[in-house]
């Protein structure tokens, strides 16, 4: 048995593709059920945010499991798998664990240290537990969330909390200010 993560994020895929792949909360139970029924996926947790879609899975064989996830993403999004195959990233065993801990700590976010991701990781874990798709992965996710909390309390990463909307708002304000100045001139 192996652990894998297969995903797309803000660094690897365009926003329009990420939007097509995003799993809203009301569809998460069905998605977890669909993925856990795949031949090579034994357990699954789906982390879906506006900046990433990641499937964490215990699997029987690496390549067929990646194929199961890729086929699911294609069917779910309506995109041909060859349209995003080169954009997918995969991590295996220790690499998958390391990636999860980096994500939970906010180190793999668009804005390093952003505060929302820890809650999103917790939510993904809780949904998978509720749906019964992650009996053994639950312990890994619990440790990742605990580690993410420690990173926030024991380092400076959480001292000046930032979320994605704040920089967007600042950008809009500066754009509005420039527009106002240009109109006044």
Residues involved in catalysis: 50
Closest by CA position to 42, among listed 73, 93, 1: 1
Rounded-to-5 percentages of helix, strand, coil across the chain: 60, 15, 25
Which residue has tokens 């798998």?
81
Structural element, H or E, at residue 51? none
Q: What is the DSSP string of 82-108?
A: HHHTTT-EEEETHHHHHHHHHHHHTTT
Neighbours of 110 (CB within 10 A): 15
Distance CA 22, CA 152 (A): 26
Between helix 25-36 and helix 116-131 the angle, nearest 10°, is 50
């Amino acid at each position: 048995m192996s652990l894998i993560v297969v995903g797309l994020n803000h660094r690897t895929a365009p926003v329009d593709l990420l939007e097509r792949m995003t799993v809203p909360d009301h569809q998460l139970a069905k998605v977890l059920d669909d993925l856990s029924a795949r031949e090579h996926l034994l357990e699954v947790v789906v982390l879906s945010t506006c900046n990433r879609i990641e499937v964490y899975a215990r699997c029987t064989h690496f390549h067929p499991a990646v194929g199961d996830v890729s086929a699911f993403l294609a069917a779910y999004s309506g995109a041909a798998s060859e349209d995003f195959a080169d954009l997918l990233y995969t991590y295996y065993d220790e690499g998958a664990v390391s990636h999860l801990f980096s994500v939970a700590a906010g180190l793999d976010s668009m804005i390093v240290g952003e505060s929302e991701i820890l809650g999103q990781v917790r939510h993904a874990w809780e949904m998978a537990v509720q749906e019964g798709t992650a009996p053994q992965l639950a312990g890994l996710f619990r440790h990742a969330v605990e580690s993410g909390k420690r990173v926030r309390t024991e380092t400076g990463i959480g001292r000046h909390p930032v979320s994605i909307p704040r920089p967007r708002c600042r950008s809009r304000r500066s754009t509005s200010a420039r527009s106002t100045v240009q109109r006044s001139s």
